[in-house]
């Protein structure tokens, strides 16, 4: 099939327009809203996606997005997942402490910083933010790993970025059919628990929600490696050693505790119980190269290409069609991470496929992503069976298509 340049150019134009429309400033800080109407704040992994996209054409804005994200870092190193820059507007997600949330999100910051530097080298920028990066990743591997087993806990489903994924139904005691309101109430109750403990999460949350999530770990490992590259460039030998050692230790722990039946499973509680819900989390470790070539081949053949589980007419379902919790319609808001396609998982899977050399599969995923954006616009998520868009409009994640297109039509 010949590559559709006109389509690519139109999507590029639209992506950059949405990012520009959603851009905001607060004093010296500049950031981008995931969706002006639905999400009027700055979000952690969203900002990393924005920075990765800006890195192509606007490195200054890419750096600004990271600088504002790090500007509200906690003393203990945590980077909050939401910054409420304009507290006056819509008090949705008011889960926080003084202008921010009390949670974090998948730690994509070092990866985004490395992408910016790779395209537009700037050692001064790296020097300036390195202490914040080191302190964030040190926080994760120290404070969220109370047993020293190199598995890092999330304290709320929202820290996974997949708020209502059925991976968390069991630890939340949620049913497959739980409504949006009921689900939100369970998650806000967790925030209240943490608040009661004075936000000393590691002392407190392990009794309520203490999950080791597969995508979070895969993302952590790849980001620790990028942190290692950054430290090496800056000649911070200790930081380089720390980052590379932690990446290796977390990788080994994932293999030991999470791997079974050819895939990785998230874990819950003290006994590291596997949460056996089939979701796109099976594919996230491709992003960090955590499967052997042989395992990756079997994963792609048996799961990614399997139309009765993950492979849908319009892309990859976030939850297997065989799961009782599978719902194709994300616009029934409560079900958004219970099946619908999201562009970030597509992007992670795409990167993973490229890493392993699955070029045909990568191309197909990229082309389906383009098709969705052309057909339904830059929506928050998409019905895998019909391609229909759901959730927020003018949602920035669609712009990740620019990063998928960057490797070009050649793939
Ligand atoms: C939704 C998503 C989350 C994202 C946020 C802002 O809550 O589940 O991953 O960060 O919106 O876009």
- pLDDT tens-place string over residues 370-399: 999 999 999 999 999 999 999 999 999 999
Which candidate, 368, 341, 363, 367, places its Cα nearest to that of 353?
363
Q: What is the pLDDT of residue 199?
A: 83
Please, what sign has the CA dihedral across residues 202, 203, 206, 209? Answer: negative
Q: Is the CB of 39 under 6 A from ligand 1?
A: yes
Question: Cα of 161 to ligand 1 centre, how many Å?
Answer: 6
φ and ψ of 290, to 5 deg: -90, -10
Class of domain 5-404: mainly alpha
- Per DSSP, 25 falls in state E
Q: Above 60 in pLDDT, residue 31? A: yes
* 90: confidence class by pLDDT, cuts 50, 70, 90: very low
Question: Cα of 34 to ligand 1 centre, how many Å?
Answer: 8
CB 398 within 8 A of CB 12: no
**HSE, side-chain direction, 13 A CA sphere, residue 185:** 7
- The residues spanned by each domain of the chain are 5-404
Residue predicted with more confidence, 32 or 191 = 32
Given the CA of residue 395, which atom of ligand 1 is nearest to it? 12
CB 388 within 8 A of CB 376: yes
Ranking 68-72, 95-99, 167-171, 348-352 by mean pLDDT, the lowest is 95-99
315 SS3 class: strand
Q: Above 90 in pLDDT, residue 34? A: yes
Q: Is the CB of 41 under 6 A from ligand 1?
A: no
Tell me the percentage of the chain whose pLDDT exceeds 70: 95
Mean pLDDT rounded to a whole number for the chain: 94
φ and ψ of 274, to 5 deg: -75, 135
φ and ψ of 64, to 5 deg: -60, -40
- Across the range 334-339, mean pLDDT stands at 86
Q: Is the CB of 388 under 6 A from ligand 1?
A: no
* 126: confidence class by pLDDT, cuts 50, 70, 90: very high
For residue 247, what are its two tokens?
């990446």
Q: What is the pLDDT of residue 197?
A: 86
| Maximum distance among all Cα pairs of the chain, rounded to whole angstroms | 59
Given the CA of residue 162, which atom of ligand 1 is nearest to it? 8
Residue pLDDT, tens place only, 256-305: 999 999 999 999 998 999 999 999 999 999 999 999 999 999 999 999 99
Whose Cα sits closest to atom 11 in ligand 1? 39
Give the contacts of 132 (CB within 8 A, at least 6 positions apart): 70, 73, 79
* 331: confidence class by pLDDT, cuts 50, 70, 90: low
For residue 126, what are its two tokens?
């790296």
Q: What is the pLDDT of residue 23?
A: 98
pTM of this prediction?
0.97
Q: Above 80 in pLDDT, residue 98? A: no
313 SS3 class: coil
Whose Cα sits closest to atom 9 in ligand 1? 161
Q: What is the pLDDT of residue 91?
A: 46
Q: What is the pLDDT of residue 333?
A: 60
Question: Cα of 283 to ligand 1 centre, how many Å?
Answer: 20
- Across the range 64-81, mean pLDDT stands at 96
Q: What is the pLDDT of residue 323?
A: 97
CB 260 within 8 A of CB 274: yes
Q: Above 90 in pLDDT, residue 3? A: no
Which candidate, 408, 374, 392, places its Cα nearest to that of 36?
392
């Amino acid at each position: 099939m010949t590559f559709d340049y006109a389509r690519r150019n139109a999507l590029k134009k639209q992506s950059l327009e949405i990012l520009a429309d959603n851009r905001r400033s607060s004093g010296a800080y500049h950031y981008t809203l995931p969706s002006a109407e639905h999400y009027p704040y700055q979000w952690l992994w969203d900002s990393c996606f924005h920075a990765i996209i800006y890195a192509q054409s606007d490195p200054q804005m890419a750096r600004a997005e990271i600088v504002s994200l790090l500007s509200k870092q906690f003393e203990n190193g945590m980077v909050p997942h939401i910054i409420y820059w304009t507290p006056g507007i819509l008090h949705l997600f008011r889960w926080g402490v003084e202008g921010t949330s009390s949670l974090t999100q998948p730690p994509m910051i070092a990866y985004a910083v490395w992408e910016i530097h790779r395209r537009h080298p700037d050692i001064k920028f790296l020097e300036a933010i390195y202490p914040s990066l080191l302190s964030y990743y040190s926080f994760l591997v120290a404070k969220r790993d109370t047993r020293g087993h190199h598995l890092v806990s999330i304290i709320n489903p929202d820290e996974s970025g997949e708020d209502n994924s059925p991976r968390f139904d069991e630890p939340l005691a949620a049913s497959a059919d739980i409504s949006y309101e009921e689900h939100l109430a369970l998650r806000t109750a967790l925030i209240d628990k943490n608040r009661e403990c004075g936000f000393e999460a590691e002392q407190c949350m392990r009794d309520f929600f203490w999950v080791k999530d597969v995508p979070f770990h895969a993302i952590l490992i790849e980001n620790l490696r990028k942190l290692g590259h950054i430290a090496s460039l800056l000649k911070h030998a200790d930081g380089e050693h720390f980052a590379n050692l932690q990446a290796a230790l977390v990788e080994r722990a994932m293999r030991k505790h999470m791997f079974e039946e050819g895939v990785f499973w998230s874990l819950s509680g003290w006994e590291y119980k596997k949460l056996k819900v089939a979701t796109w989390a099976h594919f996230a470790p491709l992003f960090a190269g955590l499967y052997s070539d042989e395992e990756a081949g079997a994963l792609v053949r048996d799961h990614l290409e399997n139309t009765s589980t993950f492979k849908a007419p319009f892309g990859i379902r976030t939850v297997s069609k065989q799961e009782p919790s599978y719902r194709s319609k994300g616009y029934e808001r409560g079900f958004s991470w219970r099946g619908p396609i999201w562009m970030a998982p597509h992007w992670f899977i795409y990167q993973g496929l490229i890493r392993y050399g699955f070029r045909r599969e990568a191309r197909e995923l990229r082309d389906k992503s383009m098709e969705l954006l052309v057909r339904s616009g830059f929506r928050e998520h998409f019905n895998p069976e019909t391609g229909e868009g759901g959730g927020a409009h003018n949602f920035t994640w669609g712009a990740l298509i620019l990063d998928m297109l960057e490797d070009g039509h050649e793939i």
